[in-house]
Amino acid sequence: MPEQERQITAREGASRKILSKLSLPTRAWEPAMKKSFAFDNVGYEGGLDGLGPSSQVDTSTIRILGMTCQSCVKSIEDRISSLKGIVSMKVSLEQGSATVKYVPSVVSLQQVCHQIGDMGFEASIAEGKAASWPSRSLPAQEAVVKLRVEGMTCQSCVGSIEGKVRKLQGVVRVKVSLSNQEAVITYQPYLIQPEDLRDHVNDMGFEAAIKNKVAPLSLGPIDIERLESTNPKRPLSSANQNFNNSETLGHQGRNVVTLQLRIDGMHCKSCVLNIEENIGQLLGVQSIQVSLENKTAQVQYDPSRTSPVALQTAIEALPPGNFKVSLPDGAEGSGTDHRSSSSRSPGSSPRNQVQSTCSTTLIAIAGMTCASCVHTIEGMISQLEGVQQISVSLAEGIGTVLYNPSVISPEELRAAIEDMGFEASVVSENCSTSPLGDHSAGNSMVQTTGGTPTSVQEVALHAGSLPTNHLPDIWAKSPQSTRAVAPQKCFLQIKGMTCASCVSNIERNLQKEAGVLSVLVALMAGKAEVKYDPEVIQPLEVAQLIQDLGFEAAVMEDSAGSDGNIELTITGMTCASCVHNIESKLTRTNGITYASVALATSKALVKFDPEIIGPRDIIKIIESKTSEALAKLMSLQATEATVVTLGEDNLIIREEQVPMELVQRGDIVKVVPGGKFPVDGKVLEGNTMADESLITGEAMPVTKKPGSTVIAGSINAHGSVLIKATHVGNDTTLAQIVKLVEEAQMSKNPNKHISQTEVIIRFAFQTSITVLCIACPCSLGLATPTAVMVGTGVAAQNGILIKGGKPLEMAHKIKTVMFDKTGTITHGVPRVMRVLLLGDVATLPLRKVLAVVGTAEASSEHPLGVAVTKYCKEELGTETLGYCTDFQAVPGCGIGCKVSNVEGILAHSERPLSAPASHLNEAGNLPAEKDAAPQTFSVLIGNREWLRRNGLTISSDVSDAMTDHEMKGQTAILVAIDGVLCGMIAIADAVKQEAALAVHTLQSMGVDVVLITGDNRKTARAIATQVGINKVFAEVLPSHKVAKVQELQNEGKRVAMVGDGVNDSPALAQADMGVAIGTGTDVAIEAADVVLIRNDLLDVVASIHLSKRIVRRIRINLVLALIYNLVGIPIAAGVFMPIGIVLQPWMGSAAMAASSVSVVLSSLQLKCYKKPDLERYEAQAHGHMKPLTASQVSVHIGMDDRRRDSPRATPWDQVSYVSQVSLSSLTSDKPSRHSTAADDGGDKWSLLLNDRDEEQYI
């Protein structure tokens, strides 16, 4: 063997990793050497045998930054391969590196890097790393730190940070992620420390914090030996036998199989590197590519050396041990008999398996200017192998691709789009698809206040600070702009740019130069705007830098920086409220100095500061499909989650803060007290109380124990819990509510069906109306808008805010009104309804019981405890209570404590008990209080189960009394003092005083009234009987409310929805007229068309009453206008000329003015409208308003139209149907349906919720 080959073989045998990636037989590179060597004397043919010792061939890896597409790869390969001494050159765009085979005696790596740098890229030698298969183990002198960087807004910020940090002494490499808002830095700890890196980033104007130091994840020799021993086909051989046998090496390259695995449990890039670099070292593995976004890995391996099952076992054995691998169908058969992933892993589910052969990905595309770009992208990408379907949206800048992941990957799709000259990036479904990174996704529609869709169809930029045909996505604002010297701007004309890669190349290289603060390049216009420090650099020097990159550049002397102007053509505006809505949105935006919208011309003129905001930002503001209601809904979602890794006995081994986009189904999440539940899930460990009022509308917190379900967006009130994620991302309950609101807002359009009669009338009067409009359109044009304008003002004076004219005109057509229960029909807060003494009134009089109970409940945060404390203070006439010690609260049961110093409260009470409280004493009077020495009371307050746990017996009479209250939808709790049962307190969410009157008045107007609530049927029935509603839908979800509204609308009815909670917002948006209570949530108020400021249900009646007055006034205005025209036109035409009556032109003008004035005066008469007062409504309802019985109320469960009749059988049948009650989901008692006696079988009245009910009553 020649000396050169022995050296190469020895060197390759020393590195197991390098040889495992080479798929060439012995001397297979000799023909390539003959072709690639460039000799000065071309008359000789080169061969390896003729080379001296100095002509050895080395293989090295060079890191390359700045590549954006395959054209960059090709240009580098072509140029470097032409150099003398280069045997071969392979560039990888995905890995950002190049593998070079070269002759050191002819060319050096430094020369190669210099040549690549001259092309506009950054090149550096990858020390100790051959080919593209880096080792995970870091050198002993290197370490890695991860920084959390806040304040980055665009790629310019990323480039600034990377450029500055990379220049620091001791920094080996740096990678900044804009989407994750973090930076991963490899550094030499003996030269620089993480704190220094953080300070340097902070000095640039960003906020940086050290997240964690990434420890190198590497497998030792024992681990590798153990993993390789899992291959059933071939035992582990020695390294020398494997790597010194060139025949084996040649065979390895000829039989390669590609396998695609699904990997769950990856959270960040560290997991990707961990899998790629450790599995890449295994015997038989040729290559591995892991995609974090798709949770897949593509492995090329030799089936004679390893098997899919062995690869699966090896990946799952990697630290930290939370990877779950799913093999594709049929892959298990390629190895020996191994258990599948699902059989080994109890936590795996069918959802973890690969469900189909097609996947969908979203790709953000920048640089599209017209429909031709869209057609070009769709035409080219659809021809790629593996692409099933592609749809590109020009307005959103998003491409949706349906593809086969076994044939093509999202990265390949992105690269293909970039090869066409566009900028592309793969985004996930949970991320914002807006190129600006805004929280609202851009769309061609804008939801105005009145619900009218508005679209921006045409954009015209006038001469300002930007080219007219370029709308930049990002206006770079460098953190260095806070320098003492005022920065300046210059404009340059650039020629020679052909694609987006040229733009990226110029912007990236200029931003590295000292004194250049920001760069914005317009490809189509061939211009650039550069913001610079005049003390450091001048425009001519900037132009020279661009020329050095291979382009032609000249400074434009006549381009002075000025405020930008943009003129928009907006279609879809129908009234002045649309104009006001758009103008108010624009003027509130930072950077916009002037905004004027003209309804007549559908034009908008906007002046803006281009340093703060760009034209496309302005368009996004107008086009934004996401209303404030959706923005507030989405703000309820947590942004991060604490994902934990559990060990034996559910001990937490590791905690990690991860973005919500990376939380997967099956992850274990820790939620601390006061935090939001980030996902829907089930409680694994811990007990707590969850405030789900923002989602369910019910004010009472719900107890959560192991096995209970939790809702994303709800608040953890008390203890820490561990939950297992069951629904993440777009599958959560909160995300579904957001989707419902969005769909309802976009689908709610005026009814366009026109009856045949109306068509005939319209046709008959078509020509006459045309003549009238031509003759005098002013009066006809003023008839409707003046009445609507005055009507909305009158409504506001009466406490009714109406958003635009559409709901005002729609209100008089309403035939069905749907009321929510909690917070709408009821007050939404618990109140004490009754206090019943059960003990010796001489020993424990009512006043003393209230003082003791109020003191005990004062330490409780439970809503029922707050209600009891408030009642006791009001009845005792004091704001101070006694002392409470040894307080203990048991969720779902009750409280226990010791109370003292209540004698002072009783002695200083300001007034006697009120009559309602006094008559609650069974004795019928108040016993005289005896003087007693200060004493301490032992107090227990809670449900039956809580008192039984503490050794108290509850008689059947007391149990029957509690059951009676519970059948009325109230909560009954017991009080024991010093071991003696002494009282019962009934608490309920009281019905509003005017609710029954409002319902009766609506029914008398011919409007159907429906009660729809998420509460249980018993409570809903009790409330309905009190207010007189005979049709009830109980236990409904937010989606059920929307479906019920749509069902009534499909029947031809106009529907109004009255609600106050987040769960009501989808139905409010879907209804023909949504009415929100002024004290409700911001989301409900935003989604509604009408807002009741005074929280008075009679205002619902008033809004319908006022709407009828306005419609009647509009008709009167039209009649007046028609009379003027019908009389005036014939006279003006000379009908009475034979008798000598002829109108002069000034007379016609006066008549026309008079018609318009009369219409305006007629509309102003609405100012005299007075809302009917309470006495008038009561007088009309006197003698007609009667309460309903339970049998008269029809209750439907969810969307089921089957009626649930009232329980009229035995008392035990009534008890068996007692269910969850409103405002008492934690303190109501629920009997067992399978018990034979009320007092047998343990806890039949426990406060603890049934899991089935807890999931159903949302």
Active site residue 820: yes
Q: Which residues pair with 917 in a beta bridge?
A: none
User: CB of 666 within 8 A of CB of 725?
Assistant: yes
Beta bridge partners of residue 1074, listed in sequence order: 1057
Tell me which residue of 627, 626, 642, 641 sits closest to 729, measured CA to CA. Answer: 641
Is the distance from CB of 709 to CB of 608 less than 8 angstroms?
Answer: no
The two three-digit tokens of residue 1105, written as one number: 């009453």
Exposure string of 693-727, with b = 16+ CB inside 10 Å and e = fewer, is bbbbbbbbbbbbbeebbbbbbbbbbbeebbbbbbb
Which amino acid, residue 430? N
Task: Report the alpha-carbon distance of residue 1219 to residue 1216 in Å, rounded.
Answer: 8
CB atoms within 10 A of CB 932: 10
DSSP secondary structure string for all residues of 1197-1241: ETT--SEEPPP-S-HHHHHHT----TT-TTT--B--TT-SSTTSS
What is the rounded distance in angstroms from the CA atom of residue 194 to the CA atom of residue 768? 83
Taking the chain, what is the end-to-end CA distance rounded to the nearest angstrom? 80
Residue 5 to residue 238: CA distance in whole angstroms: 22
Which of these, 726, 730, 733, 696, lies nearest to 712 by C-alpha position? 733
Task: Map tokens 């509604």 to a residue.
Answer: 1088
CA distances from 574 to 597, 606, 779, 804 (A): 13, 20, 18, 10
Structure tokens at 835: 């206090």
Q: Look at the block and give the residue holding tokens 């190049």.
A: 98
What φ, ψ does residue 710 adopt, rounded to 5°? -125, 155
Please check whether residue 724 is in contact with residue 664, taking contact to mean a CB–CB distance below 8 angstroms: no
* Three-class DSSP category at 309: helix
Instruction: Give me the amino acid identity at 271.
Output: C
The residue with tokens 């017996």 is: 953
Handedness of CA 579, 584, 590, 592 (dihedral sign): positive
CA dist 725 and 1256 (Å) reads 19
Number of neighbouring beta carbons within 10 Å of residue 978: 15
Task: Find the catalytic residue in 667, 820, 1229, 1243.
Answer: 820
> Cis (ω within 30 of 0) for the bond into 216?
no
The dihedrals phi and psi of 101, each to the nearest 5 degrees, come to -105, 125
Selection from 708, 1221, 1255 nearest residue 943 by Cα = 1221
Long-range CB contacts (< 8 A, 24+ apart) of 959-963?
959/1238, 959/1239, 959/1245, 960/1211, 961/836, 962/1229, 962/1245, 963/1214, 963/1215, 963/1218
Place of tokens 């019985």: 1189
Active site residue ranges: 820
